[in-house]
Amino acid sequence: MKVLKKWKERARHIETEVYAIYLAYKDPRVPWYAKLFAFCVVAYAFSPIDLIPDFIPVLGYLDDLILVPLGVTVALKMIPQPVLAECRQKAATEMSQNKPSFRRAYFVIIGVGLLVTVLVAVLVVRAWQS
């Protein structure tokens, strides 16, 4: 039971860190390359589509257990410390009061995914017709 409790705490901590990264993404003091990477991390963390589908035994959860924390760690290193401290504090406060809504982020992620899918489909059709 202690192991399960520890994993739940770690998951909550990562969720708060991802939210802090999301808040930092919107801050004008964050460099463009950090914003780009932060966007990718947040999009992947909240995306319903995984690199490796969860139904594949062991490997399905590998991306969630390794890629997301690794991306969070790298993104946190790219964000200036004063900005990160403010965003962490704001994220912790908002997460303790109520769960923030990522509805708009979901629509953006799904929209980008659909756009990429359409572009790939168009390229495949054009290549096949040639």
Domain-embedded: residue 121: no
C-alpha dihedral (86, 89, 92, 94), degrees to nearest 10: -70
Phi and psi angles of residue 31, each rounded to the nearest 5 degrees, phi first: -60, 155
Residue 16 located in a structural domain: yes
pLDDT in tens, 11-31: 788 888 999 999 999 999 999
Structural domain includes residue 74: yes
Cα separation, 2 vs 59, whole angstroms? 24
Q: Is residue 56 part of a domain?
A: yes
Any idea what DSSP says for residue 48?
S
Residue 102 has a pLDDT of 63
Domain limits for position 60: 2-102
- The pLDDT tens digits of the residues spanning 35-93 come to 999 988 888 887 766 666 667 777 777 777 788 889 999 999 999 999 999 999 999 88
Task: Tell me phi and psi for residue 101, to 5 degrees.
Answer: -90, 130
Give me the pLDDT at residue 80, please.
95
Residue 33: inside a domain, yes or no? Answer: yes
Domain count, the chain: 1
| Residue 9 is assigned to a structural domain of this protein | yes
**Quick one: pLDDT at residue 100?**
63
